[in-house]
Amino acid sequence: MTQKFDVVVIGAGPGGYVAAIKAAQLGLKTACIEKYQDKEGKTALGGTCLNVGCIPSKALLDSSWKYYEAKDHFAIHGIEAKGLTIDVPAMISRKSNIVKNLTGGVATLFKANGVTLLEGHGKLLAGKQVEVTGSDGKTQIIDAENVILASGSKPIDIPPAPIDQDVIVDSTGALEFQSVPKKLGVIGAGVIGLELGSVWARLGAEVTVLEALDKFLPAADEQIAKEALKTFTKQGLNIRLGARVTGSEVKKKQVTVNFTDAEGEQKIVFDKLIVAVGRRPVTTDLLASDSGVDMDERGYIFVNDQCATSVPGVYAVGDVVRGAMLAHKASEEGVMVAERIAGHKAQINYDLIPSVIYTHPEIAWVGKTEQQLKTEGVAVNVGTFPFAASGRAMAANDTGGLVKVIADATTDRVLGVHVIGPSAAELVQQGAIGMEFGTSAEDLGMMVFSHPTLSEALHEAALAVNGQAIHIANRKKR
């Protein structure tokens, strides 16, 4: 007899598992299909984020930063660290244990909320039927009143640098190095490339980042991007813009990379090469030809603002649809869809989805950049505050960067908050909360912020928008 569910979710990543749990909490009979298996051959939930993305990379970023601080920055605190060494396999093992605990936690949440886990590959057929193919090749068909497609994304391959997961690796392979490469190349100066490059540079690798674009971090505010480039260069990352890779050759456990830049044809030899040029949606064999769901030529599924596809009762969330590939975007889309299926009104404010780069200093922003607003013809006032003037940042010896608040020149409504510096992600989230409720720069300036905190930098930047900052000299309004 064919199993029937109110909701069937294909994919147990941040979009899928959250959607499944929320749907079950709302009283819907829910199943979630997942095919990913860990090194032990066991089904692992959590998708790219928990298994080979957000979480493991942050574990390595934190471990490598502690080593970097102990090696180069403890002396100023009067702490002397002699004979410091790094045990890379132990660091990787810690990362793997964190991943195992979190993915196991999702499985526990499925059980606690009554979500049925179906192990295997899910494929949407006509009439909202879903085919599940197990690792043993056996198939079963299940019926669904509603289907949520959440199959995620995977790293993009490029012909000039084919992945072998030995010398030339993608982001997954870069999380498994068992020793620090002497010379490391990174193709791509985006979020993934900068984060992974930072990890291994802190541990002693000589890192060169090859970026095809002439502009650094084009999605970020230009002032923030300029500060970031200066900081990363000072940290030892050799970031070469306008460098387009044309080929590579692996020989004797090294790779020679050919590229062109403003100076012509170049080549450089690395011990390891990370390809981090972006990700693409995983929609191969996800949809039967008669499923009725429309996709574009790049494999993205067409959806409206509520993540509904061209087929009533079929939705898609996360990396397989338009917008930034962010775990928190996927999760909120999953919640929104589950609530709409249950008959509730729900929506997402896509204008206020924060972006974060977890380097050190962190880079984060929400809302629009100064350049976007100028292009749109919006007159703005801008306030900035450097962490160099923050007592809390001084106490922590972490004074690089700044907070930037952009407000409408007429209404004073905050249109963007941009931060590079300590706890940037947390500070931007404070800005996002205020912006969701239509805060003005004056509102933020009138709030009482505890002292001494890094948050005071946001307070002062908001005050600076209207020339009222206390702890820096105020600039004239633009």
Q: What is the pLDDT of residues 140-187, one digit of tens each?
A: 999 999 999 999 999 999 999 999 999 999 999 999 999 999 999 999
Residue bearing tokens 């000589």: 206
Rounded to the nearest integer, the mean pLDDT of the chain is 97
Total Cβ atoms within 10 A of residue 367: 22
Is 315 strand, coil or helix?
strand
pLDDT of residue 475: 77
451 is catalytic: yes
pLDDT tens per residue, range 281-328: 999 999 999 999 999 999 999 999 999 999 999 999 999 999 999 999
Distance from C-alpha of 124 to C-alpha of 141, rounded to nearest angstrom: 10
The one catalytic residue among 73, 77, 360, 451: 451
State the Cα–Cα distance between residues 17 and 23, nearest whole angstrom. 10
Structural domains in the chain plus CATH codes: 3-155+280-350 (3.50.50.60), 168-277 (3.50.50.60), 361-465 (3.30.390.30)
Bridge partners of residue 240, in order along the sequence? 210
| Tokens encoding 326 | 């962010």
| pLDDT tens, residue by residue, 338-386 | 999 999 999 999 999 999 999 999 999 999 999 999 999 999 999 999 9
* Strand ordering across the sheet containing 264-270: 244-251, 254-261, 264-270
pTM for this predicted structure: 0.96
In whole angstroms, how far apart are CA 200 and each of 56, 97, 180, 181, 192? 14, 20, 7, 8, 13
Nearest to 235 by CA among 57, 53, 73: 73
CA quadruple 468, 470, 476, 478: dihedral sign: negative
